[in-house]
Structure formats: C-alpha cells, structure tokens
Amino acid sequence: MTPQREAVLAAVRSSRVHPSAEEIIRQVRTTSPGIGLATVYRSLDVLVRSGRITELRLGDGAVARYDGNVRRHDHVVCSGCERVFDVEVDLPSSVVSAAGGQVDVDIDDYDLEFRGRCERCRG
C-alpha cells in the first residue's frame, strides 16, 4: 500500500455518508495536499478490486459512492438530500426463495435499497 492509497482508504473508512470521489478527494487533500485526481481514482479502483471497499450506485446511480463497510448490509437512500444510511435487515427466506423461484436461480446474496425522506427532509 502506498501512502496515498492508505490516505484514500482511511478517508472512505472514516466516513459514514458513503462519499463520492469528489468528497474523498476533498478529505484526502486535508492531509495530503499534493494528491492528484488521477491518483485518487486509481487508488479507489485498486481498493474496490481488492475488496477493501465497495463501489455503490444508489439513487439515480449517476455518481459512484464508496463504502468502507464491507460487511453485508443494505442501504436507505434519502430522496431529498441523497444521504445514504446503512441498515441491517434480513429478508425472510421464503421471500428470497420466491424471487429465485420465479427465474430458476439459487439466490446466494442480495442488496436492498430503500428510498424515503429522512428526518431533516420531512420537515
């Protein structure tokens, strides 16, 4: 791991908001002011490929977001401010097997994306 890559990984892991590359660059530059855009993108790519972080396409999917929490979990996306929250819920196995049964696939994993309005955006 290069120091830049370490800095990118630390920035993703320290964030609770599933930051975009832009947000990660801003964060990394507070400790490594000279780091370039291309280096950050390359680091993100390597970290995703090695399974240290996850790349997410949530909401309208226009912007890739990065997740330092690689344990299995699901997401709630606020349609107002587009903040992304981690949640852990288990679907009943009958629901999972019903979905797989419709297309004859043995399901071994799934990702859930819930959408709604957060406390701040309801008001």
Tokens of 118: 């957060």
Task: Kindly write out the interface string for residues 39-78 of this chain, putting x where it contacts Zn ion by CB under 5 A and - elsewhere.
Answer: ----------------------------x-x--------x
In degrees to the nearest 10, what's the CA dihedral of 16, 20, 22, 23?
Answer: -10
The position carrying tokens 């892991």 is 13
Complex with Zn ion: residue 39 or 65, whichever CB lies closer: 65
User: Between β-strands 74-78 and 84-87, what pairing exists: parallel, antiparallel or unpaired?
Assistant: antiparallel
Task: Kindly write out the interface string for residues 85-104 of this chain, putting x where it contacts Zn ion by CB under 5 A and - elsewhere.
Answer: -x------------------
Report in angstroms how near the CB of residue 18 gets to Zn ion at its nearest: 6
Complex with Zn ion: residue 37 or 121, whichever CB lies closer: 121
Dihedral sign, CA of 110, 111, 113, 119? Answer: positive
Point out which residues bind Zn ion (CB under 5 A).
67, 69, 78, 80-81, 86, 118, 121
